[in-house]
Homo-oligomer: A and B are copies of this chain.
Amino acid sequence: MTRRQEIMGTALGLMRKKGYLNTSMRDIASSVNMEAASLYNHIKGKEEILVDTCFGLAETLELGIKEVNDIYFNAAEKLAMAIHNHIQALTQDLNASHLFVHEWRHLSDDKRAQFIQRRDLYEKEFRDIVILGFEEGEFKDVDPKFATLTILASLNWVGEWYRPQGDMEPKEIAQKLTQFILSGLQKN
């Protein structure tokens, strides 16, 4: 593990616990036993931590949804796989997920604009699955935008309560979420 990775990992942990703005370069430095100024031998600045993390996870998610569309499935299967990939990506590094879900707002103006664009594109991929399901006659005639936002809300919130040593594994969470989203709470 390079020193840079060590710094990044420590920073992400602190930022998840205290928030991005509340985590100072001095906090990060002392957590890896060095002075704040020394961090600049490894990273360009504080924002680099946020940028690399947000865009890194964005790329992982994009690859995940592309994989879903490459393989031919019906909408229900596509949705199940998309949910699975999303949950895998998010639970794989909860600290990074926190920045991705909550702290992207503090990106500088241009980076934030780029981020929002990629996020919207990702949302659109989900929405297309919902629309496909309707065209197949398998899904109800719901408002696709509304449904997609609701689905993604459920997925992104998993990072708030998932605990790696807990009693549910990512795979199981994804499966339950898929079940819930497809057929809801009510019996028949």
Contacts and interface: CB of A to CB of B under 8 A. Distances in A.
Interface of A: 19, 21-22, 76, 79, 102, 105-106, 130, 133, 137-140, 142-143, 146-147, 149-150, 152-154, 156-157, 160-161, 168, 173, 176-177, 180-187
Give the dominant DSSP class at A's interface: helix
Contact of A140 (B152, B153, B186): B186
Nearest to A79: B185
A168 B150 CA distance: 14
6 contacts: A138-B187, A140-B187, A143-B176, A147-B180, A149-B157, A153-B157
Contact of A181 (B19, B22, B161, B185): B185
Contacts of A180: 142, 147, 150, 184
A169 B188 CA distance: 28
Contact of A184 (B19, B21, B152, B183): B183
Nearest to A149: B161
